[in-house]
Structures are given as structure tokens and as C-alpha cells.
């Protein structure tokens, strides 16, 4: 555990001092702050529009962090032989996978925590500065829940990234795999709906439906962890079609399984 935490700490420190991460933070912060100007554009449902904006920026920042920083961070270690120094001191490969994933997640959490606090401030300020008719409901607890859902989606993505990094060599193949993983995960619900409609019209395809259903386990839909609709709604969560406990538990289980597979792959591979 000491080695995992020590590695996570240097991954966090190293990332925190990178200009790319600061650039992403400043860019996302500027976009989030631009939410203040929403008051001039949206007459109705301002709360929903502003909340969607804040969470979309946080999701975009997490996505950019994963696809353009985290993907490179892992491949960099192998290409520049940083992994040699780490394993020599003497971190096991399993500890490397866990330490790296934890460090990257901590870095993403730092970024998201800052953006989350600013986003919360933006929404709170808006609510107090306009007529309550335009922004009737806002729940800080639900904001925290939506933020937690985003972090669970990020943890799942980073675990998948570690798995692909164990399977493939180099940043570009891992980036392509991550994009395919994300697109497949987001596309499966659409295919499921289409098959459901076909079945309702009397053309059931049970085998295909079964395959698509189980594919959803390998390619999860991050949209299931999107609870932002609840932030500005007074309706109970089940009425909004949200089941946070189950979705968060499945996301954590997915991350744990993906990391276990990544460790098994790393243990077996030669480091050239």
C-alpha cells in the first residue's frame, strides 16, 4: 500500500506541474465562468441550462484529461523508460498499475473539485440574483451526487485506460481503443432501443438483444452516471429514472475488474 500511495503521489505531483494540465484547468474554468452570461440568453428554465452547462464543462474537462493527458502519461513511462526506474525501486507491476491509476484519478479529482466548487458558486450566485420563477429548485446535495457520478465515470474510464495500456503499446493505439470504447458504450443504448422497437413491432431478435445486452457490461454507458437532471429538479430520483446507488456500485465494480485485468496483463508482458 505504501508503494501504491507513493507512486500515486509522484504521479499527482508530476501532473500538477505540467503546463498542459494547467491549460486545461484555465480553459475549463473560463468556460464555466462564461455560465454567468446565461442569464442574458435564457428566459425560461435557466437553472437547468446553467446546470447542464456546468456539468458538461466538467465532463469535457475529464474527457480531455483522460484522452489527451492520461493516455500519454502511461505510454510516456514506457517510451521514456520511467517505468524502469519505478519498477527498480522496487514497485511490483500490480502496484504500478494501481499507483498510476490512483495518481491519475487524484489529479482528475483535483481538477474536477476545483471546477465543481466554481460551478457550485456560479449556480448559487445565479439563483440568488434572478427571479425564483426562472430557477425554482437547486439542491447542493444533489449537485454533490451528480459530481460523484461524474467522478465514478472518470474512474471507470481511467481503469479502462489502464487495461488498454496493458494490452497495447504506445499512446495512439490506446487513444483509438479508448475512443472506440467510449463510442461503443454510448451507442449501445441506442441499439438496444432500436431492437426494443423492432420487438414491439413483432420482429424480435432475442439473440442479438442478448449479445447487445451483455456487450453493455464490457462497454458501459457513462450516461448512466449522469445525474445532473436531478440538481435543479424537485422530483424524487426514481421519478427521474435515476438509480444512483446501483449505477455507482456497478461503476466501481467495473473499475475494479478492469484494474484486476490490467494487473494480470502487466504481470505477463515484457517491458522492452
Partner 1 sequence: MIEFHNVSKTYPRQIGERAAHRALTDASFVLPPGGTLGLVGQNGAGKSTTLRILMGYMRPDAGEARVLGRDPAEAAVRRRVGYLPEISTFPENLTCAEMLRFVGRCRGMDEQRIARAAEAWLKRLELWEARNRLLRGFSKGMKQRASFAAALIHDPELLILDEPMSGLDPLGRADIVSLIRELREAGKSILFCSHLLDDVQRLTDSLVVLHRGRILFAGGVEELRHRFTREGEAPPDLQDAFIALVRDADTGGRP
CB of 234 to partner 1, least distance (A): 46
Taking the complex as a whole, the smallest distance from the CB of residue 17 to partner 1 amounts, in Å, to 4
For residue 127, the tally of other CB atoms under 10 A from its CB is: 18
The least CB distance from residue 16 to partner 1, in Å, is 8
Task: Select 16 or 137, whichever has its Cβ closest to partner 1.
Answer: 16
Work out how close the CB of 82 gets to partner 1 at its nearest, in angstroms, rounded to a whole number: 5
Least Cβ distance, residue 6 to partner 1 (angstroms):
4
CA distances from 164 to 66, 103, 160, 175 (A): 13, 17, 6, 9
- Of 126, 120, 108, nearest in space to 42 by CA: 126
For residue 270, give the 3-state DSSP assignment: coil
User: What's the CA gap between 148 and 141, in Å, rounded?
Assistant: 10
- Choose among 166, 189, 187, 188: nearest CA to 177: 166
Q: Considering the complex, state which of residue 36 and residue 172 has its C-beta at the smaller distance from partner 1.
A: 172
Helix, strand or coil, per DSSP, at residue 8: helix
CB closer to partner 1 out of 1 and 207? 1
Kindly state the smallest distance separating residue 222's Cβ from partner 1, in Å. Answer: 29
Cα–Cα distance measured from residue 113 to residue 21, given in angstroms and rounded to the nearest whole number: 14
CB-nearer residue toward partner 1: 173 or 187? 173
Q: How far is CA 62 from CA 21, 108, 145, 241, 271, in A?
A: 11, 7, 17, 24, 29
Handedness of CA 88, 89, 93, 96 (dihedral sign): negative
| Of residues 68 and 246, the one with the C-beta less far from partner 1 | 68
Q: Count the residues in the chain.
A: 272
Q: Which residues bind partner 1 (CB under 8 A)?
A: 2-3, 6-7, 9-11, 13-18, 80-82, 84-85, 87-92, 95, 270-272
* Shortest separation between residue 13's beta carbon and partner 1, angstroms: 6
The DSSP code for 80 is: T
Nearer to partner 1 by Cβ, of 89 and 128: the residue is 89
Q: Which residue number, 89 or 213, has a Cβ lying nearer to partner 1?
A: 89
Q: Which residues contact 70 (CB under 8 A, 6 or more apart)?
A: 104, 108, 158, 161
What span, in angstroms and rounded, lies between the C-alpha atoms of 185 and 216? 7
Amino acid at each position: 500500500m505504501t508503494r501504491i500511495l507513493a507512486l500515486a503521489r509522484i504521479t499527482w505531483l508530476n501532473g500538477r506541474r505540467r503546463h498542459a494540465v494547467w491549460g486545461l484547468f484555465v480553459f475549463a474554468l473560463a468556460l464555466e465562468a462564461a455560465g454567468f452570461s446565461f442569464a442574458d440568453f435564457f428566459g425560461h428554465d435557466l437553472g437547468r441550462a446553467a446546470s447542464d452547462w456546468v456539468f458538461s464543462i466538467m465532463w469535457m474537462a475529464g474527457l480531455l484529461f483522460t484522452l489527451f493527458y492520461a493516455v500519454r502519461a502511461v505510454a510516456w513511462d514506457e517510451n521514456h523508460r520511467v517505468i524502469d526506474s519505478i519498477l527498480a525501486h522496487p514497485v511490483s507491476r500490480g502496484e504500478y498499475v494501481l499507483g498510476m491509476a490512483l495518481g491519475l484519478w487524484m489529479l482528475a479529482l483535483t481538477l474536477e473539485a476545483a471546477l465543481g466548487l466554481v460551478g457550485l458558486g456560479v449556480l448559487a450566485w445565479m439563483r440568488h440574483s434572478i427571479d425564483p420563477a426562472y430557477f425554482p429548485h437547486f439542491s447542493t446535495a444533489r449537485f454533490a451526487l451528480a459530481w460523484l457520478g461524474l467522478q465514478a465515470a472518470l474512474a471507470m474510464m481511467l481503469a479502462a485506460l489502464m487495461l488498454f495500456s496493458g494490452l497495447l503499446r504506445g499512446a495512439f493505439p490506446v487513444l483509438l481503443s479508448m475512443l472506440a470504447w467510449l463510442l461503443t458504450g454510448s451507442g449501445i443504448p441506442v441499439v438496444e432501443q432500436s431492437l426494443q422497437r423492432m420487438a414491439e413491432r413483432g420482429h424480435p431478435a432475442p439473440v442479438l438483444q442478448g449479445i447487445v445486452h451483455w456487450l453493455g457490461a464490457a462497454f458501459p454507458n457513462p450516461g448512466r452516471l449522469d445525474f445532473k437532471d436531478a440538481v435543479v429538479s424537485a422530483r424524487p430520483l426514481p421519478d427521474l429514472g435515476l438509480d444512483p446507488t446501483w449505477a455507482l456500485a456497478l461503476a466501481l465494480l467495473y473499475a475494479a475488474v478492469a484494474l484486476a485485468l490490467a494487473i494480470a496483463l502487466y504481470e505477463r508482458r515484457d517491458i522492452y
